[in-house]
Amino acid sequence: MISDGLVAYNGSRAQIEMKNDLCGPKSLYEEYYDANYFKWQKRHQMFQATHSDPTRWGRIKPEYTVLEIGCSAGAVLNTIKCAKKFCVEINFHAREYAAKTYNLTTFRCGAELAENAIH
Protein backbone atom coordinates (compact mmCIF):
# COMPACT_ATOMS: atom_id res chain seq x y z
CA MET A 1 0.00 0.00 0.00
CA ILE A 2 1.39 3.39 -0.97
CA SER A 3 0.34 6.10 1.43
CA ASP A 4 2.96 8.80 0.87
CA GLY A 5 2.96 9.18 -2.87
CA LEU A 6 2.12 7.86 -6.27
CA VAL A 7 3.54 7.70 -9.76
CA ALA A 8 1.56 9.87 -12.16
CA TYR A 9 1.72 9.15 -15.90
CA ASN A 10 1.04 12.06 -18.22
CA GLY A 11 1.26 11.01 -21.84
CA SER A 12 4.91 10.31 -22.55
CA ARG A 13 6.30 11.05 -19.10
CA ALA A 14 5.79 10.10 -15.51
CA GLN A 15 6.54 12.04 -12.39
CA ILE A 16 6.67 10.99 -8.79
CA GLU A 17 4.07 13.07 -6.99
CA MET A 18 4.04 13.40 -3.24
CA LYS A 19 0.82 14.20 -1.39
CA ASN A 20 2.49 16.87 0.71
CA ASP A 21 4.15 18.54 -2.34
CA LEU A 22 7.29 19.35 -0.31
CA CYS A 23 9.80 17.96 -2.78
CA GLY A 24 11.10 20.83 -4.85
CA PRO A 25 14.60 21.38 -6.24
CA LYS A 26 15.98 21.06 -2.70
CA SER A 27 13.45 21.00 0.07
CA LEU A 28 13.92 21.64 3.77
CA TYR A 29 13.38 17.92 4.23
CA GLU A 30 16.45 17.12 2.14
CA GLU A 31 18.49 19.43 4.34
CA TYR A 32 17.19 17.62 7.43
CA TYR A 33 17.90 14.16 6.02
CA ASP A 34 21.67 14.58 5.84
CA ALA A 35 24.58 12.13 6.29
CA ASN A 36 24.24 12.15 10.09
CA TYR A 37 20.56 11.31 9.89
CA PHE A 38 21.34 8.52 7.44
CA LYS A 39 23.76 6.86 9.89
CA TRP A 40 20.91 6.50 12.38
CA GLN A 41 18.41 5.61 9.67
CA LYS A 42 20.58 2.81 8.28
CA ARG A 43 21.04 1.14 11.67
CA HIS A 44 17.29 1.22 12.29
CA GLN A 45 16.45 -0.17 8.87
CA MET A 46 18.99 -2.99 9.07
CA PHE A 47 17.26 -4.14 12.28
CA GLN A 48 13.85 -3.86 10.63
CA ALA A 49 14.98 -5.83 7.56
CA THR A 50 16.40 -8.60 9.73
CA HIS A 51 13.25 -8.96 11.85
CA SER A 52 10.46 -8.58 9.32
CA ASP A 53 9.05 -10.48 6.39
CA PRO A 54 7.69 -7.88 3.96
CA THR A 55 6.43 -10.55 1.59
CA ARG A 56 3.56 -11.10 4.07
CA TRP A 57 2.41 -7.48 3.85
CA GLY A 58 0.93 -7.49 0.39
CA ARG A 59 1.17 -11.10 -0.67
CA ILE A 60 3.99 -10.19 -3.05
CA LYS A 61 4.58 -12.78 -5.75
CA PRO A 62 7.95 -13.45 -7.46
CA GLU A 63 6.70 -12.01 -10.77
CA TYR A 64 5.59 -8.68 -9.24
CA THR A 65 7.25 -5.29 -9.60
CA VAL A 66 7.54 -3.39 -6.31
CA LEU A 67 7.85 0.38 -5.88
CA GLU A 68 8.65 1.44 -2.33
CA ILE A 69 8.03 5.08 -1.42
CA GLY A 70 10.49 6.08 1.30
CA CYS A 71 12.85 3.12 0.91
CA SER A 72 15.63 4.57 3.10
CA ALA A 73 18.77 2.44 2.63
CA GLY A 74 16.84 -0.18 0.68
CA ALA A 75 17.39 -3.00 3.19
CA VAL A 76 13.72 -3.94 3.54
CA LEU A 77 13.07 -3.71 -0.20
CA ASN A 78 16.11 -5.86 -0.81
CA THR A 79 14.59 -8.70 1.25
CA ILE A 80 11.54 -8.89 -1.02
CA LYS A 81 11.74 -11.62 -3.62
CA CYS A 82 10.17 -10.12 -6.73
CA ALA A 83 10.98 -9.53 -10.41
CA LYS A 84 11.81 -5.81 -10.24
CA LYS A 85 12.43 -3.35 -7.41
CA PHE A 86 12.27 0.45 -7.48
CA CYS A 87 12.52 2.93 -4.64
CA VAL A 88 11.84 6.60 -4.05
CA GLU A 89 13.82 8.30 -1.30
CA ILE A 90 14.35 11.94 -0.36
CA ASN A 91 17.69 11.35 1.39
CA PHE A 92 20.57 11.51 -1.11
CA HIS A 93 22.83 9.38 1.11
CA ALA A 94 20.18 6.68 1.48
CA ARG A 95 19.52 6.64 -2.29
CA GLU A 96 23.23 6.26 -3.03
CA TYR A 97 23.55 3.45 -0.49
CA ALA A 98 20.50 1.59 -1.82
CA ALA A 99 21.76 1.83 -5.40
CA LYS A 100 25.34 0.80 -4.64
CA THR A 101 24.74 -1.81 -1.94
CA TYR A 102 21.62 -3.52 -3.25
CA ASN A 103 21.74 -2.51 -6.93
CA LEU A 104 18.27 -0.96 -6.61
CA THR A 105 16.88 1.52 -9.11
CA THR A 106 16.31 4.65 -7.05
CA PHE A 107 14.50 7.91 -7.72
CA ARG A 108 14.64 11.24 -5.94
CA CYS A 109 11.35 12.55 -4.61
CA GLY A 110 9.98 14.90 -7.28
CA ALA A 111 12.11 13.45 -10.08
CA GLU A 112 10.66 13.31 -13.55
CA LEU A 113 10.63 9.77 -14.89
CA ALA A 114 11.20 8.65 -18.44
CA GLU A 115 8.41 6.79 -20.16
CA ASN A 116 8.25 3.21 -18.90
CA ALA A 117 10.82 3.93 -16.17
CA ILE A 118 8.88 1.69 -13.82
CA HIS A 119 7.62 -1.20 -15.83
Beta bridge mates, 18:
5
In a domain, 119, yes or no: no
Residue 62 pLDDT greater than 90, yes or no? no
In a domain, 21, yes or no: no
Which run of H or of E encompasses 98?
A: helix 92-102
How many folded domains does the chain comprise? 1
In a domain, 13, yes or no: no
In sequence order, what are the residues at sequence separation of 6 or more whose Cβ sits closer than 8 angstroms to the Cβ of residue 50?
Answer: none
Instruction: Please report the pLDDT score of residue 48 as a whole number.
Output: 65
> Within 10 Å of residue 9's Cβ, how many Cβ atoms?
14
Output the pTM of the full model: 0.59
Instruction: Please report the pLDDT score of residue 98 as a whole number.
Output: 93
Q: What is the CATH number of the domain that holds 73?
A: 3.40.50.150
Residue 80 pLDDT greater than 80, yes or no? yes
Q: What percent of the chain has pLDDT over 70?
A: 50
Instruction: Please report the pLDDT score of residue 25 as a whole number.
Output: 52
What's the pLDDT band for 57 if we cut at 50, 70, 90? Answer: low
In a domain, 51, yes or no: yes
